[in-house]
Structure 1
Amino acid sequence: MKTVQAIKEKGKEWYFTSEKIDLKNPLVLVFGNRFSLESLTIYDELKAMFPIGNIVFGSTSGEILGENVYDESITLTAIEFEKSQYHIHSKNIHDFENNSEKLGEALTDKFSKEGLKHLFIVSDGNLVNGSALIQGLEKNCPDNIIITGGLCGDDARFEKTLASYNSNPKSGEIVAVGLYGDHLEITCANYGGWSAFGPIRNITKSRENVLYELDGKPALDLYKKYLGDKSNELPQAALLYPLNLRVKGSNETVVRTILNIDEKENTMILAGDVPEGSTVQLMMSTVDDIAEGASKAAMYAMRNRTKKPELALLVSCIGRKLVMNQRTEEEIEEVIEAIGGQAVIAGFYSYGELSPFSNQIGCKLHNQTMTLTLISE
């Protein structure tokens, strides 16, 4: 595996952080600030740099390159697989009447399943229901195929997210990168570091990812009551107080971030499904707990590996970044300490993370986690 990395900070030209070498058929992962990716020339700019590359764009709530976290920048990581192959397909939610599950099903139907080892997803994070997307993706996937990735971000604005494959970034796009070959070793893991507090509430009315009622009362009113003065800062304030969701009949819990609120309907829109009959509880965290969570995620991802990772794709949540503030890079440092300095680090801060639980295969939508995909040939 060969890699090239570069960054374009606001008001500056591209700067290569590694040696610029010629790559054969590179996969070029480009993560950047939404406003920067809205440039009408961005695809042509990248295509000129990598004329035989396949370019995947995703907007972010912060860019990860090496041990650093950037804002208002564009980062690129170009990857040449020397013993393996990759294929890319994309779909747009607007072509599926905003049905995330049908889109996911159609997307994975495009891939040959022979030799398929892994799917890495870069998805719109504003219009897509992440958990429904996963359900669709898994319908046409063999049971042994692992899916990881993330929902694109837009800092803490929640206005619009962008993604694309070999074209200018656009709203509603979902890109899937299929990795093929017996030489690949890919492991993944995620961990949060958030703690639940306060009373457990029953979801008495919901529809997919829209939450209407908790314990028979309007969910938004109840949530605002807990936030107090911070309710004036919604939806951004919700990133600091996500919901711990336990689906009825399951022992597992997942975290759900509130992406937006509807004052007129008195509802909350979450990153994934919140089924009726489930329970939720408020969560909070500290800088130290989040950094420790990143360390645990990295240790879990390394636990059963036979080779040291050459490439680490990190997807962490915008909520973690808001809590850590100026100490955000500490969670990246914890990851590097656990996986080793030999790995090339790339990734982004997201509106949702896609990954199985540790020692499982089925993918889940997570919020407020550090998710790692470690790759070597």
Structure 2
Amino acid sequence: MKINQLHMNSAGGRITCPSAETPRERPLALVFWSDLDEQGVRNAARMLRESCGEPVIVGCSTGGVIQGGQLFENALNATLVTFEHTRFETVSAMAADHPDNRALGRHLGAALNNEGLVHVFVLSDALTINGCALAAGLAEALPSHVGVTGGLAGDGERFERTTLLHGCDIFSGGVICIGFYGDRLRVSQGTRGGWVPFGPERLVTASHGNALLEIDGESALDLYERYLGKHAKNLPASGHLFPLNLREVGSSVWVVRTILGLDRERKALFFGGDVPLGSTVRLMRGSIDNLLDGAEEAGKAARPGEGKALAILVSCVGRKMLLKQFTEEEIEAVAEALGPETTLTGFYSYGEIARGIEGEPCCLHNQSMMVTVLQEIC
């Protein structure tokens, strides 16, 4: 497995492949960008295609780009991976072509050839697709032994438009899946949070899908505004600092949900995943030390064996909002846990897709650091 990384800032410029050697197989190019106009991203994709062996290009907009041990904004980064013993294929679909997001996930899972499939990495629009339903559909369609990880695209702290890149096409309202095939690919994964619940347990008394209307009979928006105080004027962005811990009826598993939007007329909050009626919820808050510890634990859980490896980090933009100038310390904590032979790429997201800590099926997480490590075995 050969890995090369390229970088372009907001000033643009020519992207040149670091090696003049034309690979035998088309490389995979993972492209993540932050605060760049769409035409600039298209131009970068065309340059990659022309100068880097016509790679298969897949990527998304973000709330910040991870490359190496650093965070980049107003920039585009591309990681080119040329596999020696692993095959991959990509499929994409639009939500508008399916009755619901769960059906969208089932369609994507069925579109991938299952023979030899070992792992699926997912990139999804965040603002028009329910990541919880998408993950459930994928889990239903894919064999149980196939791992699924990925993330929802980001848009900084604006929450206006999130986009995907497939080839040289940029679009919203869709999902891209990368399927990896072969018995020489080792995939490890770790997902951890670091947020701490506070206050009493409360009951969801009115909701619809990912729209939370009432908690304990009170308007969800009113309750959040009371708890957030001066931060309430910056909703929905400030809601990332106070995510919701949720446990569905009949389950012992707690998951984290974060706010992606609101409707003041309905006094509703829209979350990155479903908030089922009857669920038990608690507000959460974080500290810098707790979030850094969580990132380190995610890195340790995904640590590869000896040799070169690629780690794709997907961390929630809410963590970045709380960590501020300490954000790179989160990335460095993961890098140190993974070891010096692992190359890092990734992005800050509006949601993370992965199995749970106790091995639960693939689901949507919020406010977590998710690490996926790909390593070919010699």
Which bracket does the TM-score occupy, shorter chain normalised?
A: over 0.9
From the superposition, tell whether residues 100 and 161 of structure 1 become closer, same or farther in structure 2 (CA, over 3 Å): same
What is the CA deviation profile of residues 312-367 of structure 1, one whole-angstrom value per residue up to 9, with x for unaligned ones? 01000000001111110101111111110111110000000011123516112111
Matches within 5 A, 1:80-119: 80-96=82-98, 99-119=100-120
Q: Tell me if structure 2 keeps the 8 A contact 1:255–1:368.
A: yes
2:143 maps to 1:142: yes
Q: Provide the secondary structure at the position in 2 that maps to 1:128.
A: coil
Q: Tell me if structure 1 keeps the 8 A contact 2:194–2:291.
A: yes
Q: Provide the secondary structure at the position in 1 that maps to 2:334.
A: helix
How many Å apart are 1:43 and its aligned residue? 3.3
How many Å apart are 1:38 and its aligned residue? 4.6
Partner of 1:49: 51
How many Å apart are 1:47 and its aligned residue? 1.7
Cα distance in 1 for residues equivalent to 2:228 and 2:352 = 25
Cα distance in 2 for residues equivalent to 1:49 and 1:262 = 46
2:343 maps to 1:344: yes
Cα distance in 2 for residues equivalent to 1:206 and 1:240 = 22
Q: How many equivalent residue pairs?
A: 374
Q: Provide the secondary structure at the position in 1 that maps to 2:204.
A: strand
Partner of 2:374: 375
Whichever residue aligns with residue 171 of structure 1, its letter is S
Partner of 2:213: 212
Cα distance in 2 for residues equivalent to 1:337 and 1:55 = 28
Matches within 5 A, 1:219-230: 219-230=220-231
Partner of 1:71: 73
From the superposition, tell whether residues 14 and 331 of structure 1 become closer, same or farther in structure 2 (CA, over 3 Å): farther
Cα distance in 2 for residues equivalent to 1:246 and 1:28 = 37
Q: Provide the secondary structure at the position in 2 that maps to 1:77.
A: strand
Cα distance in 2 for residues equivalent to 1:195 and 1:116 = 37
Whichever residue aligns with residue 92 of structure 1, its letter is M
Partner of 1:335: 334
Q: Tell me if structure 1 keeps the 8 A contact 2:32–2:60.
A: yes
How many Å apart are 1:36 and its aligned residue? 3.1
Matches within 5 A, 1:221-300: 221-300=222-301
Q: Provide the secondary structure at the position in 2 that maps to 1:121.
A: strand
- Identity of paired residues, percent? 39
Whichever residue aligns with residue 361 of structure 2, its letter is G
From the superposition, tell whether residues 84 and 11 of structure 1 become closer, same or farther in structure 2 (CA, over 3 Å): same
Q: Tell me if structure 1 keeps the 8 A contact 2:17–2:48.
A: no
Cα distance in 2 for residues equivalent to 1:206 and 1:104 = 23
Which portions of structure 1, spanning 4 or more consecutive aligned residues, are displaced by more than 4 angstroms? 14-21, 305-309
Cα distance in 2 for residues equivalent to 1:359 and 1:257 = 21
Cα distance in 2 for residues equivalent to 1:84 and 1:46 = 21
Q: Provide the secondary structure at the position in 2 that maps to 1:156.
A: coil
Partner of 2:315: 316
Partner of 1:199: 200
Cα distance in 2 for residues equivalent to 1:319 and 1:308 = 33
Whichever residue aligns with residue 73 of structure 2, its letter is D
Cα distance in 1 for residues equivalent to 2:311 and 2:247 = 30
2:177 maps to 1:176: yes
What is the CA deviation profile of residues 9-45 of structure 1, one whole-angstrom value per residue up to 9, with x for unaligned ones? 1114256797675433101000002543354534323
Q: Tell me if structure 1 keeps the 8 A contact 2:242–2:285.
A: yes
Whichever residue aligns with residue 301 of structure 1, its letter is A
Cα distance in 2 for residues equivalent to 1:335 and 1:17 = 27
How many Å apart are 1:256 and its aligned residue? 0.4
Flag structure 1 segments of 5+ consecutive residues without an equivalent.
Answer: none
Whichever residue aligns with residue 150 of structure 1, its letter is G
Q: Tell me if structure 1 keeps the 8 A contact 2:15–2:47.
A: no
Cα distance in 2 for residues equivalent to 1:17 and 1:67 = 21
